[in-house]
Amino acid sequence: MSRETISRLIAASTEESNNLHRANLLFEQPVREVEDADPMDVPSAFDTPILDSYMQAGSEALLTLTNFTMTEFNILCGLCEEDVQESWYDGRGRQNSASAKDVFFMLLVVMKHYDTWERHALDFNFRTPTFEKLIMRIMALVEPILT
């Protein structure tokens, strides 16, 4: 009786092991792709044309410009996103030409690369006074949150 039970359990275990092996062969690649895909590495599709244009050069571009990976940038941006979004689009009248996330990206570039306002404004295709106002406004919004 015990030999039959052990034989049956061994056969069931072997069959289960074979099923797991076949399933692993079938589904290993799709599962690995899903596990490897980090949602924080994907830039937000929420209207960020400036950031997107730099990201077309690859993730190394963001690292070079800001010293942050896309994941780190999204985490940092996420810390202050709610408060910034609330204030950025608040009020009547003319809306900003750049999204808050784009301007946050430009702020990090300005803080890393010490250069004149004119030079940075040219890099991002803004007039100098407009660029300076954008950067100072985003800095005033994120400074209390990030300190």
When the pLDDT of each residue in the chain is averaged and rounded to a whole number, the result is 80
Q: Kindly report the pTM of this predicted structure.
A: 0.66
pLDDT tens readout for residues 44-55: 436 888 888 888
Percent of the chain's residues with pLDDT above 70: 79
Band of residue 3 on the pLDDT scale cut at 50, 70, 90 = low
Alpha-helical (H) ranges within the chain are: 2-36, 49-55, 59-66, 70-88, 100-112, 117-123, 128-146
Within 13 Å and on the Cβ side, how many CA atoms surround 124?
A: 31
Tell me, what's the pLDDT at 42? 43
pLDDT > 50? residue 103: yes
